[in-house]
Amino acid sequence: MKAPAKKYIPFAQIPLEHRDWPDHIIDKAPVWCSVDLRDGNQALVTPMQLDEKLRMFRMLIDIGFKEIEIGFPSASETEYEIIRTLIEQDLVPDDVALQVLVQARPELIKKTFESVKGAKNVIIHFYNSTSTLQRKIVFQKDMDGITEIAVEGAKLIRKLTEEEIARSGMNIRYEYSPESYTGTEQDFAVRICHEVMEALGATKENPVIINLPATVEMCTPNTYADQIEYFIKHLPNREAAIISLHPHNDRGTGVACAELGLLAGADRIEGCLFGNGERTGNLDIVTVALNMYTQGVDPGLDFHDIQAVGKVCEECTKMPIPPRQPYAGQLAFTAFSGSHQDAIKKGFDYMKNTGTEYWEVPYLPINPADINRQYEPIIRINSQSGKGGAAFVLEKAKGYRMPKAMQPEFGDIVKAAADAYGDELN
């Protein structure tokens, strides 16, 4: 790098006397919230049209999401339209909550409440920026000024909620995000969230979702976990809060931040399918969920046909899924290397011959069939391939089980053909 690195300020470490999260394991699924229709949609070159939003919403329901952030209704008429369509056409199941985002500004809060009239279950998600840089550069306010914005917003939301419940009986819950949480002093983050909870009347029976977003990923995942653990340990009335994570992927470790954040005590995760979102995207909910699945934990989300999910996402967002995307990418389970191919073939033989109840195939952390991925493309043949790969393909494609002694000679013939062809063989 030619540019001097000294111009960047190293991220400050979190003053934890003792961290507990390294000793924890993930043994249950969090509450999931999809933000594909809001955070994901606002990041698209061409935002989704109404029919595409409805198609995406139906798929999210089928996957099993019970909380779906559907838009920023005070931002534009198109955002307002999707919410009204879902409500007026009665497209929302009774056990699903529509989440709507709004800045902590009175006029925007009032329009947001107008947008959700007639809904059964709503999460009012409000936020304001709290980080050191945002305070200094964008808002030019001190901590007291930023806290006042949040608390006044909370008071108005509580007032409008009480009026709406008296009028319609709507089930309304609250979510507050100290936006740019990762760049916020931890004691200030605790203070502002506690004051918001007090203003909203949070109790153990009616907890507030406190969402701690890595709006910009600024540190290694272990430090993010330290932040979450520090926040939870210092938050008064912790039992009145549902701790939520919303990691972005600026450093390429959004999934790791989510997993370590769960170890640190978080209850809930917001994200997008396949990591869509601003800049480098949100964490990929598919990856986090299927990572749990490979550890014997039921994620509570249904990705049994990952290619069908990917097809809808690609068609609605116009964003291709990278070929090496975990689990869903075209090449996610593909082996070209001879040694990998040989181990995979032997793994399949072992599974068949022993009848083991466990998945025990080298190089494949998940059974591709569990997410409707076919076996045939797992091993593909090019000049790097070996005898095991050629034998595997021949057996799967044509049903020929080649004698073991014959495999090296046949593999050499295939490898020579691939060398001469200069490309992958079909």
pLDDT tens readout for residues 366-399? 999 999 987 656 655 555 655 577 777 778 778 8
- Short-list 219, 222, 276, CA closest to 37: 276
Instruction: Check whether 60 has a pLDDT greater than 70.
Output: yes
Helix axes 186-200, 143-168, angle to 10 degrees: 30
- Short-list 64, 116, 73, CA closest to 93: 64
Residue with tokens 């000024």, as numbered in its chain: 145
Q: What pLDDT score was predicted for residue 335?
A: 80
Q: Could you tell me if residue 57 is left (phi over 0), alpha (psi between -120 and 50 degrees) or otherwise beta?
A: alpha
Element (H, E) at 211: strand 208-214
Kindly report, residue by residue over 182-210, the tens digit of the pLDDT.
999 999 999 999 999 999 999 999 999 99
CA distance 228 to 256: 13
> If you ran DSSP here, which 8-state letter would residue 262 be given?
H
Distances (CA, A) of 407 to 175, 402, 410: 61, 7, 5
Q: CA angle, 29 as apex, 292 and 60 as ends, to 5°?
A: 95
Cβ contacts of residue 179 below 8 Å, gap of 6+? 127, 128, 129, 130, 131, 134, 213, 215
3-state secondary structure at position 418: helix
Instruction: Check whether 211 has a pLDDT greater than 70.
Output: yes
pTM: 0.89
Q: How many CB atoms lie within 10 A of CB 166?
A: 9
Q: Are 215 and 178 in contact (CB under 8 A)?
A: no
Q: What is the mean pLDDT of residues 222-249?
A: 98
Domains along the chain? 12-317 (3.20.20.70), 338-421 (1.10.287.1400)
Kindly report, residue by residue over 299-308, the tens digit of the pLDDT.
999 999 999 9
Q: What pLDDT score was predicted for residue 380?
A: 59
CA distance 38 to 127: 14
Alpha helices, DSSP H only, in 281-361?
Answer: 285-293, 306-317, 338-354
128 strand-pairing partners: 178
